[in-house]
Structure 1
Amino acid sequence: MEIRELVIAGWTGRDEQSLRKHIRELEELGVKPPKTTPIFYRVSANLFTHESAIQVSGPDTSGEVEFVLLQGSELRVALGSDHTDRKAETIGVSLSKQLCAKPVSRESWRYDEVKPHWERLVLRSWTDGKLYQEGPVTAIRSPEDLMSRYPLKPGYAMFCGTLAAKDGIRGGERFTMELEDPVLKRKLSHEYRVKVLPVEG
């Protein structure tokens, strides 16, 4: 489907303790806490990509595994990484979201197929082969909750928030992610490499 509008939902954790942990992680990097939670950042639709490699400016970027809602003739669920420039994030979150491509799995599932057992789905990510994030999608607000706050029209895609990093936020050369459905015994997966471009000035 053609993506006409891309939105990044932030601060979408259901658990207040986990949400505060993620806010503290970012505060340690100099990022100001949000005014409201959740919050929705509009970014350029052309950042949405299925490519297996992205280019970034400088070494201060990292990925975040998320489930992604795709609204076409039906609602579908994909897997994505809200790759973010952490240095720019200290200046402004909207700016940081706009600076990096957003890799998304080519494969997706019909939401109706997973809605009955949504709470069983699990997100995972690895940075350079080391487990980076892992947890149930129920750590994040439900699709219905998010769509009630930011309705999706055909051609819209929404990244729906991430999990806390296991050992703090860090970047790497290779980001691997998956969304596991243990009930229907299947997974969405995607991997991409990060090429760092030199910063000349």
Structure 2
Amino acid sequence: MHLRFTTGLADAPQLDVDVNQLVIAGWVGRDRDAVLHHIRELEALGVPAPGAVPLFYRVTTNQLSQQCELEVVGEQTSGEAEPFVFFHRGEYWVSLVSDHTDRHLETFSVALSKQACVKPVASQAWRMAEVEAHWDQLELRAWINVNGDWVTYQEGTLASLLTPMDLLQRYFAGQPVSEGFAMSCGTLSAIGGIRPASAFRMALHDPVLNRTLEHHYVTGALPVVA
């Protein structure tokens, strides 16, 4: 899947990236109690607990999209803001993705639920080398629209999650990374619990370099026809 990012950098103002492998990392909290909280959060919706943590789900790359108007099947879907790391021209870059998921299907199969929905991606990116040293200070936020009002849905620093380099080391286990690899690097718990939402905003803020990656999108629901 072809994605285009702006960077604000003189040496690489625009990145044209062909993602050829997409992995979604799940259950990535550093604090085991926080991971168990997220597991219980999903169990309340009928989602079975994982067999191990973290887990890595392969998803087809054609599910990635940088559009702001998307379609889903049914009314039981919602997003989760996550750091998005990809390997391009010999180095890692950072952007922002929503692991938009079918919550009804998730109660039967987490892997299939992740495959069922498009994954919206921001159109800006940072060099990993510029943020790796202060990664834990990056601030992740998301909002959902409820009856016309934007409500905070997720909020916190990335200090509560395993770092991308830790996740990548676990996933590749010493094997080399290839051009076009991308990983969605886990998420924060939902404030007030996971729930469907058709309008979603997300942001990753860097308080050290004072900049923000942002994206928003809406989903239109197609009917569920038996």
- TM-score of Structure 1 vs Structure 2, range by shorter chain: over 0.9
1:158 counterpart residue number: 183
Question: d(CA) in 2 for partners of 1:21 and 1:187?
Answer: 28
Q: Does 1:132 align with 2:153?
A: yes
What amino acid is the match of 2:50? P
1:87 counterpart residue number: 104
1:108 counterpart residue number: 125
Q: Does 1:5 align with 2:21?
A: yes
Query: 2:33 is matched with which residue: 3, 11, 17?
Result: 17
2:167 counterpart residue number: 146
What amino acid is the match of 1:122? E
Question: d(CA) in 2 for partners of 1:45 and 1:141?
Answer: 23
Q: CA deviation at 1:153?
A: 2.0
Aligned length: 201
Q: Which runs of 5+ in 2 are unaligned?
A: 1-16
Q: Which runs of 5+ in 1 are unaligned?
A: none
Q: CA deviation at 1:167?
A: 0.2
Q: CA deviation at 1:31?
A: 0.7
What amino acid is the match of 1:77? V
Instruction: Tell me the secondary structure at the aligned position of residue 32 of structure 1.
Output: coil
Instruction: Tell me the secondary structure at the aligned position of residue 52 of structure 2.
Output: coil
1:39 counterpart residue number: 55
Normalising by the residue count of structure 2, what TM-score does the alignment of the two structures yield? 0.87
- Runs (4+) of structure 1 exceeding 2 A deviation are none
2:204 counterpart residue number: 179
Instruction: Tell me the secondary structure at the aligned position of residue 132 of structure 2.
Output: helix
Q: Sequence identity, in percent?
A: 48
Q: Does 1:56 align with 2:72?
A: yes
What amino acid is the match of 2:53? T
Q: Note if contact 1:127-1:171 (Cα within 8 Å) is conserved in structure 2.
A: no
Q: Note if contact 1:3-1:156 (Cα within 8 Å) is conserved in structure 2.
A: yes
Question: d(CA) in 2 for partners of 1:154 and 1:122?
Answer: 28
What amino acid is the match of 1:11? W
Q: CA deviation at 1:154?
A: 1.2
Question: d(CA) in 2 for partners of 1:59 and 1:25?
Answer: 19
* CA RMSD, 1 decimal: 0.8
Instruction: Tell me the secondary structure at the aligned position of residue 138 of structure 1.
Output: helix
Q: CA deviation at 1:173?
A: 2.0
Normalising by the residue count of structure 1, what TM-score does the alignment of the two structures yield? 0.98
**Deviation per CA, 1:83-107, whole angstroms, max 9, x where unpaired?**
0001001111110000000001010
Question: d(CA) in 2 for partners of 1:122 and 1:25?
Answer: 22
Q: Note if contact 2:77-2:198 (Cα within 8 Å) is conserved in structure 1.
A: no
Instruction: Tell me the secondary structure at the aligned position of residue 150 of structure 1.
Output: helix
Query: 1:168 is matched with which residue: 193, 199, 209?
Result: 193
